[in-house]
Amino acid sequence: MTPLMHSLVVCLRAGRFPLEDEKTTQSAIEQRLRSHGFGCCREQRIVGGIIDFLVDDSIGIEVKIKGQPSAIVRQIKGYTAEPSISGIILITSKPVPLCPTMIREKPIVVVDMARAWL
């Protein structure tokens, strides 16, 4: 995990985000990132599709409230083909087994939003 990813994960794991729909969750995540000094862009087109956030042009953040785990993993794998991405953070409210934690030599970290509410 890169130092930037570590800082982002610490910031995100300390937050409580609404779980009712992805757009509301994304807005709350964007507000938290910006209030902690992280520059981010939303809905960025990269190899593999459109990722929810791109932080400092190098860390991708994908938010998933719904969806089949296998489809989510496929989507994350597609994003790792982007040359400018050095790692991906998956923020989710459901368990998604990501084995391995590295794809194409890029670290993948899962942030479980539900844990913040326990």
Phi, psi (deg, nearest 5) at residue 102: -125, 135
Enclosing domain of residue 56: 3-117
Q: What is the pLDDT of residue 25?
A: 94
> SS3 of 35, please?
helix
Number of domains in the chain: 1
Decide if 80 contacts 74 (C-beta within 8 A): no
Task: Please report, for the domain that includes residue 112, its CATH number.
Answer: 3.40.960
Please write the tens of the pLDDT for every residue from 81-91: 999 999 999 99
Edge-to-edge strands of the sheet including 87-92?
A: 40-46, 49-55, 59-64, 87-92, 106-112, 102-103
Q: Output the pTM of the full model.
A: 0.92
Intervals of the chain under pLDDT 50:
none
Q: What is the pLDDT of residue 101?
A: 84
Q: What is the pLDDT of residue 14?
A: 92
